[in-house]
Chains A and B, each alone.
Chain A
Amino acid sequence: MTQYRDEDLQAYVDAELSPSRRGEIQAQLAQHPEDADRVRLYAKLNEGLKKLYESVLDEPIPPRLLVRPRVWSRRIAAAGMAAGLLAAGAGLGWFGRGLQSVPATALTLPRQAAIAHVVFTPEVRHPVEVGASDEDHLVRWLSKKLGTQLKCPKLGEFSYELVGGRLLSGPNGPVAHFMYQDKRGSRLTLYVSSRRGESRETAFRFSQEDRVSVFYWIDGNFGYAISGEIAREPLLKIANAVYQQLNP
């Protein structure tokens, strides 16, 4: 004669029973009006609780819940270079969600490039926005954003393959950021930034930004920087190859 336990009634209310078990319980409840009342009451409580809070779903989300501040600082911390690289910017009110917030004129080209390098190269899941499998799309997209025909250098002869790229905001507008990786996981980034003022050309320059070596040059209205945590000499060879491929 025993037919159900309290758990069955809970599960009945929450539609967790198989159809056959549900039918059995339903039949039993007809014999036990007190329990049938209880089941109805619990269903009413479910409904009431849902109704009580459903309007929250339609409320606009407060802006403070839509920012992702800690991820940013974690990425920097992961690079282990926060203090050194960011000190210059921090004092000038450098903050926020990305390079978008770097005040114009505050950071030199190699420093901007080195910061972008240490921020994005430790990323495992999302190192780039567009992967190498969509290289054509990537180049078209970034070319359009920068208003020039970009090229994506091939670095296979140095054992570096394209991972992909992303769009960043620099102090003077959009920045194209390409990432390369070798078999050991060592990463290089190429930072191409539009610049204001008159068109000019510079020679290669080298800058050591903490652990990051940067070769950079200006060509017309664009600044180029190739960054890597490798020694100056091998990076120079790569920078030369990049320059030649961009200026055939």
Chain B
Amino acid sequence: MDSHPIVQHIPRLRRYARALAGDRHLADDLVQDTLERAWTKYHLWRPGSDLRAWLFAIMHNVFVNQMRSRRVEIEQVMEEPPSAPVRATQSDGLELADLERALSRLSMEHREVLLLVAVEQMKYAEVSKALGIPAGTVMSRLSRARARLAQNMHLQSNVVPLKAVK
């Protein structure tokens, strides 16, 4: 087994891609395109800097390009019910199948931020680096993504996040 640092990140790239793209094959296509780009650009990676953030930034760019070039295809996939069987069906009272469906109805921008924080457990600063957006934008997208997700699951009627509590 190849012990190159890039290879060690493949399982996490696959997980993120799966959550992002929904479909297994589309997700692995996304990972493959990301890796091809990462291998060819590896000489540009600055040793000592965060390799994971670098790889996720590449995946973000590849994903954005793929969405642009095959928007129609992706939208069709997103409208289908989740194809992969969900192993665990419940988490703390949440139906995971509902959660997956609700997630797939989020916009790409919201999905990315939410997944990097919740699934990949990145710090906000890392998310900002990986997606190339300011920290404030990470915060506002995260806030809206969560409100939308809860709304999609009919768990929360109030979708307008409070700006401040007085």
Q: Is A46 an interface residue (CB 8 A)?
A: yes
How far is it, in angstroms, between the C-alpha of A2 and the C-alpha of B92 when the chains are bound? 32
The minimal Cβ–Cβ distance linking A12 to chain B, given in whole angstroms, is 12
CB pair A10 B15 closer than 8 Å = no
With known contacts A44-B92, A62-B28, A49–B36 Cβ distance under 8 A: no
With both beta carbons as reference points, the residue of chain A lying nearest to B45 in the complex is identified as A125
With known contacts A2-B166, A49-B103, A65-B31, A44–B91 Cβ distance under 8 A: yes
Give B115-166 interface residues, CB cut-off 8 Å to A: 115, 117-119, 121, 123-124, 139, 142-143, 146, 149-150, 155-156, 161-166
CB pair B124 A47 closer than 8 Å = no
Query: A117-138 interface mask toward B, CB cutoff 8 Å, 1 = contact, 0 = none?
Result: 0000000110000000000000
The minimal Cβ–Cβ distance linking B106 to chain A, given in whole angstroms, is 11
Q: Is A50 an interface residue (CB 8 A)?
A: yes
With both beta carbons as reference points, the residue of chain A lying nearest to B127 in the complex is identified as A14
Q: Is A5 an interface residue (CB 8 A)?
A: yes
Query: B27-63 interface mask toward A, CB cutoff 8 Å, 1 = contact, 0 = none?
Result: 0100110011101101100000000000000000000
Size category of the binding interface on chain A: 35 or more
Choose among A49, A66, A68 the residue with the greatest number of B CB atoms under 10 Å from its CB: A49
The A/B interface has a contact count, at CB < 8 Å, of 123
Contact of A14 among B12, B43, B124, B162 (CB under 8 A): B124
With both beta carbons as reference points, the residue of chain B lying nearest to A57 in the complex is identified as B11
CB pair A45 B149 closer than 8 Å = yes
How far is it, in angstroms, between the C-alpha of A166 and the C-alpha of B100 when the chains are bound? 48
CB pair B31 A52 closer than 8 Å = no
CB pair A49 B119 closer than 8 Å = yes
Residues of A within 8 A of B15 (CB): 53-54, 56-57
CB pair A65 B28 closer than 8 Å = yes
Query: A27-51 interface mask toward B, CB cutoff 8 Å, 1 = contact, 0 = none?
Result: 0000010010010011011111111
Q: Is B72 an interface residue (CB 8 A)?
A: no
Query: A57-85 interface mask toward B, CB cutoff 8 Å, 1 = contact, 0 = none?
Result: 11101101110111100100000000000
The minimal Cβ–Cβ distance linking A228 to chain B, given in whole angstroms, is 23
Residues of B within 8 A of A70 (CB): 36-37, 39-40
CB pair B32 A65 closer than 8 Å = yes
Contact of A124 among B37, B43, B146 (CB under 8 A): B43
Residues of B within 8 A of A42 (CB): 146, 150
With both beta carbons as reference points, the residue of chain B lying nearest to A49 in the complex is identified as B118
Q: Is A199 an interface residue (CB 8 A)?
A: no
Choose among A2, A6, A58, A74 the residue with the greatest number of B CB atoms under 10 Å from its CB: A6
Using A11-B124, A68-B39 as known contacts, list a sample of 14 further A-B pairs with CB atoms less than 8 Å apart, ordered by residue number in A: A5-B163, A6-B161, A35-B165, A44-B94, A46-B117, A48-B99, A50-B118, A50-B119, A53-B119, A56-B18, A58-B11, A64-B32, A65-B10, A66-B7
Residues of chain A having any CB pair with chain B under 8 Å? 1-7, 10-11, 14, 16, 32, 35, 38, 41-42, 44-59, 61-62, 64-66, 68-71, 74, 124-125
